[in-house]
């Protein structure tokens, strides 16, 4: 590559870059690149323009590999991967990548705002991330820098839509190059042990490990490896000394911890073989955690007569007909038998003669049923005419039971009669006791005053 005789391209707001993009405000800045909001002059569409820093552009091999990576990402079209519009090289040898401009926040920003997330909230994020990783792995691309700040969350009408950022950057430069540029600062806790060991044969399971660490941190609100120095952190990752997830979230079901622990296993063979397997395992446990709402049970209707009122169907009652405490005067009254003295004499035809072979009619008391008035009888009843020659229709006063005031006087009268009876019994007992004791006490006195009489023994009282 020829030496660059031009100075660094200006990235001030309003500058034109690559003769096509007008620079706007700064969206972000890192150790390896800067991202600006720009406008494509040709299409008048907003884009996110990513420019590598000048010190990275001096590495010829890095530039060539980034160019090949740009070609792969341009051909890799997936809804969950950020779309690359174009890429190229500036006059100062810096590589630029123009990609779609996204609106929302990164998963890292959400995790810093919400300390602990629930499995149900992470489900759409796991779905989109696994779909993007599966598509990349099938194309032979390994992310190798998967972290919460590289998972972008777009809020849409249908919910959260995931976009993976910085695809292939770590794969292009490698671990040693990133260490020199400072890109790995703050991200080693998401790197797999084989990646920290600088292994060359990395595959998609490296990204599975990183996604497992992200899930752990999102659920627990704390990283799995606690260390005070970078050296202690690397040693803890290489030896797999992670704190149990249940120590931070004892409320989670055991299956959630099982999936996360397997995804971030120290040995690659112990992890999920693909992103599809991780997504299937996560979907299975979230389906168990989700509990369907229990429908409200209908109120049970109570029959006033209990099991004896089986002939009448149970129906809903209006508020005015609801059961309430009542008095005897409000209950349905049974008819009072006719009295020949009070009833006027009315001639009644004699009953017809019943032959011996005729079936015996039901007894009159069979007509009485334990049900509400107006309910038809369960069986036909034939009532024989009364033997009396008179009929009487009871009046309302005769059918009515004692009222509330009448019952009160009856109760008071009963109490007074009982008190009088008890008083009379006490007086009688007292009188009998007094009369029986006086003669026994008089006999000894008479014996004392009789002259010449021998002394008599005094009878003891029983």
CA nearest to 211, candidates 143, 154, 136, 267:
143
CA–CA distance, 210 with 206 (Å, rounded to integer): 7
CA–CA distance, 457 with 37 (Å, rounded to integer): 136
CA–CA distance, 314 with 303 (Å, rounded to integer): 7
CA–CA distance, 94 with 51 (Å, rounded to integer): 7
Are 206 and 195 within 8 A, CB to CB? yes
DSSP SS3 for 199: coil
- Between strands 33-40 and 21-29, the pairing is antiparallel
Which is it for the CA torsion 445, 448, 453, 454, positive or negative?
positive
Helix ranges (H only) for 84-229 are 107-113, 119-138, 169-181, 193-196, 205-220
CA–CA distance, 242 with 260 (Å, rounded to integer): 12
* DSSP β-bridge partners for residue 99: 48, 84
Are 367 and 377 within 8 A, CB to CB? yes
State the catalytic residue, choosing from 3, 5, 127, 145.
145
CA nearest to 82, candidates 154, 158, 160, 172:
154
The three-point CA angle 387-392-393 to 5° equals: 135
Cα–Cα distances in angstroms (integers) from residue 148 to residues 47, 124, 227, 348, in the given order: 22, 14, 20, 104
Instruction: Give the number of C-alpha atoms closer than 13 A to the C-alpha of residue 88, restricted to the C-beta side.
Output: 12
Burial class (CB in 10 A: 0-12, 13-18, 19+), 129: buried
DSSP SS3 for 388: coil
**Token digits for 33?**
């690149």
CA–CA distance, 128 with 434 (Å, rounded to integer): 109
Active site residue 145: yes
Residues with active-site annotation: 145
């Amino acid at each position: 590559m020829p030496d660059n005789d031009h100075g660094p391209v200006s990235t001030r707001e309003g500058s034109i870059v690559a003769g096509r993009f007008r620079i706007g405000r700064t969206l972000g800045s890192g150790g390896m690149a800067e991202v600006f909001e720009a406008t494509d002059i040709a299409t008048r569409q907003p884009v996110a323009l990513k420019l590598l820093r000048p010190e990275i552009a001096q590495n010829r091999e890095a530039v060539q590999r980034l160019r090949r990576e740009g070609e792969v990402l341009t051909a890799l079209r997936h809804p969950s991967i950020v779309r690359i519009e174009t890429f190229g090289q500036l006059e100062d040898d810096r590589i630029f990548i123009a990609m779609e401009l996204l609106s929302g926040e990164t998963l890292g920003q959400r995790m810093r705002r919400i300390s602990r997330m629930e499995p149900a909230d992470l489900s759409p994020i796991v779905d989109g991330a696994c779909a993007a990783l599966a598509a990349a792995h099938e194309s032979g691309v390994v992310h190798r820098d998967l972290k919460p700040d590289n998972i972008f969350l777009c809020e849409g009408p249908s919910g959260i839509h995931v976009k993976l950022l910085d695809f292939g950057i770590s794969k292009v430069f490698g671990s040693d190059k990133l260490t020199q540029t400072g890109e790995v600062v703050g991200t080693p806790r998401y790197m797999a042990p084989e990646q920290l060991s600088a292994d060359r044969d990395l595959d998609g399971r490296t990204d599975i490990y990183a996604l497992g660490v992200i899930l752990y941190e999102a659920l627990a609100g704390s990283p799995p490896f606690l260390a005070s120095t970078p050296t202690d952190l690397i040693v803890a990752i290489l030896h797999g000394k992670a704190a149990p997830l249940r120590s931070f979230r004892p409320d989670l079901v055991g299956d959630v911890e099982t999936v996360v622990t397997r995804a971030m296993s120290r040995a690659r063979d112990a992890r999920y073989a693909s992103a599809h397997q991780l997504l299937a395992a996560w979907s299975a446990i979230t389906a168990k955690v989700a509990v369907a709402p229990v429908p409200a049970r209908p109120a049970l209707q109570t029959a006033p007569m209990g099991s004896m009122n089986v002939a009448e169907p149970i129906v809903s009652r209006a508020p005015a007909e609801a059961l309430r405490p009542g008095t005897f005067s409000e209950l349905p009254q049974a008819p009072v038998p006719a009295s020949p003295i009070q009833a006027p004499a009315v001639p009644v035809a004699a009953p017809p003669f019943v032959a011996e072979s005729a079936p015996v009619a039901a007894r009159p008391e069979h007509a009485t049923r334990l049900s509400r008035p107006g309910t038809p009888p369960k069986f036909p009843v034939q009532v024989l005419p009364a033997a009396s020659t008179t009929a009487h229709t009871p009046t309302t006063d005769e059918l009515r039971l004692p009222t509330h005031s009448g019952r009160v006087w009856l109760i008071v009268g009963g109490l007074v009669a009982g008190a009088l009876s008890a008083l009379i019994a006490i007086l009688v007992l007292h009188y009998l006791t007094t009369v029986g004791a006086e003669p026994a006490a008089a006999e000894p006195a008479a014996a004392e005053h009789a002259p010449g009489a021998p002394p008599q023994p005094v009878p003891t009282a029983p």
